[in-house]
Chain A
């Protein structure tokens, strides 16, 4: 079976099926490597309305790209890179870094908190708990966060120290940091590369969800696939958990805007051409590349601190309503990031700048990047579904593929406008979800249908394909019982 699409610079290319869940596009035109898509037939992007496969081909033209331009099972149309795209460039061989391979929401990610409660413990309190979370978790457009930054100096501390800073102030516990990617802090942050405009956008947003597909969900573990691994993660059947999805807010968005513009101005002199201007890129080993990676790390630190403060606000809400605030962090992953990592390429160890845009790092057991307790089993991989369906915790597997990467969610199939047009309105959707045992708190019912479950792919199928493709395997499934919509 073949899927025709448009490749880089308008050339026609096709994806050919190589296994039940793997499709390959041979390089054509300016493509330097093949494109590889992990999908079942049900998950194939709609060629008419979704141009993500064309974007996979465009990414394959980046200077220094190695092995392949990958698309995860939840891939959909983005800008520059597809959402669900993974690409690595060889830093020692002129490999580039592209802000379009990260996206505007730098270090957007997901964290999962466990709890000492089972579903039955919270049944009587759920409405009150959701009211309290809806009141105390800042969401939506503009300013407002649970932490008020005193002065610019304090914002610099957040950019340098990430989640370590709130923990140092008593907003969290040291164990939280063990369960964050990079210990909650990227040491390569360079706050001098974050513009005044970025600081102005971020200073009033520390500890806030934002809008769009961001959320805080109270969930229940409704299926355990791997009991031993779940136990190591700190999860069991019937347990109440909390999932938080947000990123670096306006600060990260502005960093992307600023550095794309700067790179575009440099590309002519560097002799770099790309088929899509949002793929603007420069060598990792250039002034512009180093500056962007320093600003990116600072933004990622902002995102981790942001999620840490929201974690503490969540613990406070549980303490107030249910009497206990001991919600241990299971794991915190970023799914919009570029990082230099070491991977095997053609039988040699290579330093690669791995771009994951709408894709999650998925390290297998034995990785030195993981804390001692997780090293025995592998990294937790958090894959949220849509409100009303399910979310999953997976674990990275060996040997993995796509530079140890996995899907990051269900993946949209419908635009926001189409979701609104087809939906029955915010109030009926909220009532329908309530009928399914899911309490929704949204600042605007008008926006709610944009995130309706029908607007997304089937997360169960996405996870099935991840497992068949050897990217990661499921550990537990969670279903939502309460949603604070961003």
Chain B
């Protein structure tokens, strides 16, 4: 199925040394959720992995800051805690955005690619297009 007619999704685009994650969804929150899932997919196959505990992370700032903050949080937890989210839910809570992350032991997942180091601001984009679809693009250093 063409990605253009799916209302929600993500994919990884070629970049010589890094990874470009693109994502889209009908709302800003859905778009953020897909970006997180895109990052996770580029690291590991978590389809058969059960979650151990649930955390909620409060994100603040511009749309760009929300996107970078969300992906930074996942990268941080991979390094510091050896944990990876297997499910992500983003919801608006007043002026804030709350990221619900269902965390699993990273070692239970099948690793699919190099570990992400950080989120680059080069070519970073998140916006609502004229059709009402939210799209984002982010380069992740691996």
Contacts and interface: CB of A to CB of B under 8 A. Distances in A.
Do A and B associate with each other?
Answer: yes
Interface of A: 49-50, 52, 76-80, 83, 100, 103-105, 140-143, 197, 200-201, 204-205, 210-213, 249-250, 253-254, 256-257, 260, 264, 276-278, 280, 412-418, 443-444, 446-447, 450
A415 B14 contact: yes
Given A79-B120, A210-B115, A211-B115, A143 B82 contact: yes
Contacts of B107: 142
Given A277-B121, A446-B110, A140 B12 contact: no
A417 B12 contact: yes
B16 A142 contact: no
B121 A280 contact: yes
B121 to A, nearest CB: 4
Nearest to A417: B14
Nearest to A261: B68
Contact of B79 (A78, A79, A201): A201
Contact of B124 (A212, A250, A277, A446): A277
Interface string B105-142: 01100111111011111111000000000000001011
24 contacts: A76-B16, A78-B17, A83-B16, A104-B118, A142-B115, A143-B80, A143-B81, A143-B82, A197-B80, A201-B79, A212-B115, A253-B75, A253-B141, A254-B118, A257-B72, A260-B121, A277-B122, A278-B120, A415-B14, A416-B19, A416-B114, A443-B111, A446-B112, A447-B111
Given A80-B122, A256-B118, A412 B111 contact: no
Contact of A103 (B111, B114, B141): B141
B57 to A, nearest CB: 13
Given A142-B106, A197-B76, A49 B120 contact: no
B111 A141 contact: yes
Contact of B141 (A79, A277, A417): A79
Interface in B8-44: 12, 14-19, 43
A250 B79 contact: yes
Contact of B14 (A103, A200, A418): A418
Nearest to A210: B115
A141 B106 contact: yes
Contacts of A443: 111
A203 to B, nearest CB: 8
A52 B122 CA distance: 12
Give 5 nearest A-B pairs by CB, closest first.
Answer: A250-B79, A212-B114, A277-B121, A79-B122, A79-B120
A49 B14 contact: yes
Interface of B: 12, 14-19, 43, 72, 75-76, 78-82, 106-107, 110-115, 117-124, 139, 141-142
Contacts of A83: 16-17
A270 to B, nearest CB: 17
A52 B124 CA distance: 17
Contacts of B123: 79
Given A201-B76, A201-B79, A446-B111, A79 B139 contact: yes
B48 to A, nearest CB: 15
Given A260-B121, A443-B111, A446-B111, A141 B80 contact: no
Contacts of B81: 143
Contacts of B117: 104-105, 250, 253
Contact of B15 (A100, A142, A415, A446): A415
A385 B1 CA distance: 40
Given A142-B82, A450-B113, 6 more contacts: A76-B16, A100-B122, A213-B114, A253-B118, A257-B72, A447-B114
Nearest to A249: B79
Contacts of B19: 416
A141 B115 contact: yes
B80 A201 contact: yes
A381 B108 CA distance: 40
A326 B40 CA distance: 42
Contacts of B119: 257
Most buried by B among A80, A140, A141, A212: A141
Contacts of A103: 141
Contacts of B111: 140-141, 443-444, 446-447
B121 A278 contact: yes
A415 B16 contact: yes
Contacts of B142: 211-212, 416
A142 B78 CA distance: 6
Most buried by A among B19, B120, B123: B120
Given A278-B121, A450-B113, A104 B16 contact: no
A104 B43 contact: no
Given A212-B115, A257-B72, A276 B16 contact: no
A418 B119 CA distance: 21
A160 B16 CA distance: 35
Nearest to A199: B80
A447 B121 contact: no
A447 B142 CA distance: 13
